[in-house]
């Protein structure tokens, strides 16, 4: 009898997280923000990938170290309501003037994974649209609640990036 109870407990410990993970793959938590910028895609890319300047202008990612190249590991510090969190995402895409994308994980893959992206669209006449977003998947995403609601932080970063790109010579 004890063996059956243990077997059921182990099965539940495996099945519940696996089910939650599968559910978030089918219905991930997504955040998407965008802003139009009176600057070329190349200028927007320059501001976005000048990680050393982030402390001067970025209200959300207050520090970033590393290189914007596929496979590179960045060290980013986020500020959310005065609390600083450090994480080390891996760059998945780095196409100058078009896209920067990385994946960050909480612990091991499949617990909480966030694929963050910046897409730059050329609107012509020296104008761009920056779309910043993130797709969260993983077993704990359904339980994370408001901890993943960072759209206001994304919008603040977009606004600050716009101001910086538009004032550059």
> Which pLDDT does position 22 carry in this prediction?
56
Report how far residue 14's alpha carbon sits from residue 108's, in angstroms, rounded to the nearest whole number. 15
> Which pLDDT does position 15 carry in this prediction?
52
For the whole model, what pTM was predicted? 0.84
Nearest CA among 146, 88, 136, 134 for reference residue 113: 136
Q: Band of the pLDDT at 20, cuts 50, 70, 90?
A: low
C-beta atoms surrounding 58 within 10 Å: 22
Question: Please, where are the H alpha helices in 82-140?
Answer: none
Report how far residue 51's alpha carbon sits from residue 58's, in angstroms, rounded to the nearest whole number. 10
Model confidence pLDDT, tens digit, residues 68-100: 999 999 999 999 888 999 999 999 999 999 999
Model confidence pLDDT, tens digit, residues 85-143: 999 999 999 999 999 999 999 888 988 999 999 999 999 999 999 999 999 998 888 87
Report how far residue 51's alpha carbon sits from residue 152's, in angstroms, rounded to the nearest whole number. 21
Is residue 62 pLDDT above 60, yes or no?
yes
> Which pLDDT does position 55 carry in this prediction?
98
Q: Band of the pLDDT at 4, cuts 50, 70, 90?
A: low
Domains in the chain, ordered, with CATH? Answer: 2-167 (3.30.530.20)
User: What is the CB-side half-sphere exposure of residue 50 using CA atoms within 13 A?
Assistant: 15
Give the gyration radius of the chain's Cα atoms: 19
Q: Band of the pLDDT at 30, cuts 50, 70, 90?
A: very high
């Amino acid at each position: 009898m004890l063996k059956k109870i243990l077997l059921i407990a182990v099965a539940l410990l495996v099945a519940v997280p696996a089910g939650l993970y599968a559910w978030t793959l089918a219905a991930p938590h997504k955040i998407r923000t965008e802003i139009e910028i009176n600057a070329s895609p190349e200028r927007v890319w320059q501001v976005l990938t000048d990680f050393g300047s982030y402390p001067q202008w970025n209200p959300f990612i207050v520090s970033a170290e590393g290189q914007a190249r596929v496979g590179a590991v960045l060290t980013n510090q986020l500020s959310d309501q005065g609390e600083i969190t450090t994480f080390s995402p891996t760059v998945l895409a780095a196409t100058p003037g078009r896209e920067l994308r990385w994946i960050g994980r909480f612990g091991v893959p499949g617990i909480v994974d966030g694929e963050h992206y910046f897409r730059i669209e050329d609107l012509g006449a020296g104008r761009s649209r920056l779309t910043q977003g993130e797709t969260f998947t993983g077993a704990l995403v359904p339980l994370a609640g408001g901890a993943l609601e960072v759209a206001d932080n994304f919008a603040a970063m977009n606004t600050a990036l716009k101001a910086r790109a538009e004032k550059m010579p």
